[in-house]
Amino acid sequence: MAFRFRMSDLGALSYYLGIEVRQGKEALTLSQSAYASKLLERSGMVECKSCVTPMEERLKPTKASTATKVDATLCRSIVDGLRYLVHMRPDIAVTVGYVSRFMEDPREDH
């Protein structure tokens, strides 16, 4: 291709669109740990403890709520970030999809 097109070699890929790439002799490893850390910082949840189940079981939030509204723009930004994180973390896909239902009118109790 270099013969046909003008190209420059940027070396081995290490980071692309929030995805860290590690290339070894035997394997190629993809990770979004830096992206996830930035998302935790933006949401103010750096100090939160991790858990096995990403959502309370049998949780039944409703759109009719009396809780205080939260910043809708920040909420959408965080949920969109979680949607992107799902590419590497399919285990949180159901929870992120569930939370996405409440982006129109986000409140503290959801």
pLDDT in tens, 2-14: 788 888 888 888 8
Alpha-carbon span 104 to 89, nearest angstrom: 24
DSSP symbols for 53-73: SSS-TT----S---SPB--HH
Its pTM surpasses 0.85: no
Is pLDDT of 104 > 80? no
> What pLDDT score does 66 carry?
66
| Domains of the chain, residue spans | 15-100
**pLDDT tens, residue by residue, 13-52:** 888 888 999 988 899 999 999 999 999 999 898 998 887 7
> What pLDDT score does 110 carry?
47
